[in-house]
Amino acid sequence: MTATVLARLQGTTTPSVRKPGRRLKPGRPIPLGAAIGPFLLLSVWAAGSAAGWIDPRTLSAPWTVVTTAGDLIADGRLQDNLAISAQRAGLGLVIGTVIGTVLAVVAGLSRWGEALLDGPIQIKRAIPSLALLPLLVLWFGIGEQMKVITITLGVFVPVYIHTHNGLRSIDSRYVELGESLRLPRAVFLRRIVLPGALPGFLLGMRFAVVNAWLALVVVEQINSTSGIGYMMQLAREYGQTDVIIVGLVLYGLLGLLSDGAVRLAQRRALSWRRTLAD
């Protein structure tokens, strides 16, 4: 855009026009820019299926997937499984977020808290949550409890890490301001610490949401009798590619929606910031 304007200016031969300085920002956002890539992918898939390049046993055609989704909705299986999956992920996300935030504040504001908490959490961070699964199954069985705990474990670590980091990077000048105003600890926490750590917390939430869905997929494929993962497991046994794809699309949509929700919250909550992307 800038280039064409420049070309036109030079074309009209006005030597006094100063060349606009080089823009370091990425430029104006493209309308619906985020949709372009996925749309392209979908077109290739549709074209490949229509032309017969893609074996329906390998990958069902998009329209078959849509019809299957319609059938699944009609007999209520999709809603039921989706509801139970969303409940598991949501519960794990809420519990994990609360635990991660509380631990981050405790570790961030007291040296003792840090000494006691930070080490174990860093160790936990080094062990992938899913590697703990055999132990969790032994401890909690294969019921809902084990599923929610696994998701919680995957969620609280990124929330803790990023909130703690955000908290620790709050400018010490603001702490001094709080001291000079003799703010009570609760007010200091509410007006300076928590808002200061919010950018870190929200970044942690984006990782946490991804982890929640990831853990959900895994726990739902272990001896589950409900949920999207179970629906897909069953479809694998009957060779129903279309149902598997419906499940994948669902997972994708859920991930996209929840990330979008966090990003929206980010924009709302951090409207005071001016950044490179604005």
Partner 1 sequence: MATNLGGLTATGTVRVHRLVRGFGSRAVLDGFDLEIGSGEFVALLGRSGSGKSTLLRALAGLDSDADGSGMIDVPEKSSVVFQDARLLPWQRVLDNVVLGLRRSNAHERGLAALAEVGLAGRENAWPNELSGGEQQRVALARALVSEPELLLADEPFGALDALTRLRMHDLLRELYARHRPTVLLVTHDVDEAVTLADRVLLLDSGRIAVDLTIDLPAQRSHRQPQFLAYRETLLRALGVNHSEG
> Are 246 and 65 in contact, with CB atoms under 8 Å apart?
yes
Instruction: State the minimum distance, in angstroms, from the CB of residue 121 to partner 1.
Output: 26
**Spacing of C-alpha 245 from chain mean position:** 21
Of 53 and 272, nearer to partner 1 (C-beta) is 272
Quick one: tokens of 134? 């055999």
On the CB side of 214, how many CA atoms lie within 13 Å of its CA? 13
Of 151 and 192, nearer to partner 1 (C-beta) is 192
Of 107 and 192, nearer to partner 1 (C-beta) is 192
Instruction: State the minimum distance, in angstroms, from the CB of residue 111 to partner 1.
Output: 15
Of 25 and 173, nearer to partner 1 (C-beta) is 173
Find, among 207, 204, 216, the residue nearest to 133 by Cα: 216
Of 46 and 183, nearer to partner 1 (C-beta) is 183
Amino acid at site 251: Y
On the CB side of 113, how many CA atoms lie within 13 Å of its CA? 11
Quick one: tokens of 241? 């590619």
Which residues bind to partner 1, rule: CB under 8 A?
A: 173-174, 176-177, 179-184, 191-192, 195-196, 198, 270-274
Of 12 and 172, nearer to partner 1 (C-beta) is 172
Instruction: State the minimum distance, in angstroms, from the CB of residue 108 to partner 1.
Output: 17
Q: In this structure, what DSSP letter does residue 189 have? A: I
Residues in the chain: 278
DSSP three-state, residue 161 = helix
Instruction: State the minimum distance, in angstroms, from the CB of residue 27 to partner 1.
Output: 22
Instruction: State the minimum distance, in angstroms, from the CB of residue 179 to partner 1.
Output: 6
Taking the C-alpha atoms of residue 123 and residue 28, their distance in angstroms, rounded to an integer, is 43
Instruction: State the minimum distance, in angstroms, from the CB of residue 15 to partner 1.
Output: 35
